[in-house]
Amino acid sequence: MITQLDEQECLELLRTTTVGRIGFVHDDRVLVIPVNFLLDGRSIVIRTAPDGPLSTLASSPVLVAFEIDHHDNLAASGWSVLLNGGVDTVSEDHLASLPGASSRLPWAEGDRSLLLRLTPTTISGRRVRRPR
């Protein structure tokens, strides 16, 4: 059985984890990159390298997808949340104002000084469960 999740359910699920995947087209290829994130209202904020592939997103009209999911093999169930939208930059001061920002550090090493915010135009989700 597949059920659609409403936006509030999707936001609640976004609060349950700190890692997602951001997908976009770069150099005529689709890239999907795992990232640590912090929820900012309906948006997500990530830290990235100022010279990495994500760094071009804020200065381009490219729309991106951001996805988190969870599955339980034993229960034959899972869920997925998908955000689509554009990306802009935010300041360190803005990040510092978000709850939990001081404890949310990127897992990847190196310079992660570029702060990007994905502001979704759509938020959707699905839950799947094997019928009993």
| Pairing between β-strand 29-36 and β-strand 19-26 as defined by DSSP bridges | antiparallel
Domain tally, the chain:
1
pTM: 0.88
Query: Is 83 part of any domain?
Result: yes
Residue 34 belongs to what domain range? 2-121
- Residues 6 or more apart whose CB falls under 8 angstroms from that of 53 comprise 26, 31, 33
Token digits of residue 14: 């976004």
Query: Is 132 part of any domain?
Result: no
The tens digit of pLDDT for each residue in 35-85 reads 999 998 999 999 899 998 899 898 888 889 999 999 988 888 999 999 999
Token digits of residue 52: 């990495």
Average pLDDT for the chain: 89
pLDDT for 102 beyond 60:
no
Query: Is 13 part of any domain?
Result: yes
The tens digit of pLDDT for each residue in 7-33 reads 999 999 999 998 999 999 988 899 999
The span from the CA of 26 to the CA of 87, in Å, is 14
- Smallest Cα–Cα separation from 46: which of 35, 61, 62? 35
pLDDT of the residue at 29:
92
Q: What is the CATH classification number for the domain harbouring 82?
A: 2.30.110.10
